[in-house]
Amino acid sequence: MPFCFALLPGPEPTIVSVLDEKPKRVTDDELARVRNVRMHPSVGFVVDRYDEDWSRLAYVQGRGIARMIEAGDPMHSGALAALRDKYPQYRTMMLENRGMIAIAALRLRSWRGDGQPF
């Protein structure tokens, strides 16, 4: 499932993603991704760069441990600032009280079609 995310740097880098205001058919607690994080916190994701020139293909595969963070969590305000910095559309959304998914204990692997390191 595609998701918008930001990377929080630091001694333990963390990926964060907010449950934003886009229309949904169910409440945030009923979203499949929220239920999955709560039941199975070991998660994986891929960030890729596609190009018609396959020598320019690249991806980073991440694995980590996810948890839900709510407003009031010490990480929430910094995570929201990072997401708003990356995604201008989040600047006009009321996200201060929205839940977020945080992925820590990251293990990353990368690949590029041209064989060069990232």
DSSP letter assigned to residue 9: P
Q: Is there a domain that residue 117 lies in?
A: no
pTM: 0.90
Give me the residue label for tokens 């990926």: 15
Over the stretch 68-114, which tens digit does the pLDDT of each residue have? 999 999 999 999 999 999 999 999 999 999 999 999 999 999 999 99
Residue type, 54: W
pLDDT of res. 53: 95
Rounded CA gap, 98 and 74, in Å? 14
Residue-range definition of the domain harbouring residue 59 = 6-112
Over the stretch 4-26, which tens digit does the pLDDT of each residue have? 999 999 899 999 999 999 889 99
Number of domains present in the structure of the chain: 1
Q: Is there a domain that residue 1 lies in?
A: no
Pairing mode, strands 58-69 and 100-112: antiparallel
Residue type, 39: M
Q: Is there a domain that residue 118 lies in?
A: no
pLDDT of res. 2: 82
Which CATH number belongs to the domain containing residue 37 in this structure? 2.30.110.10
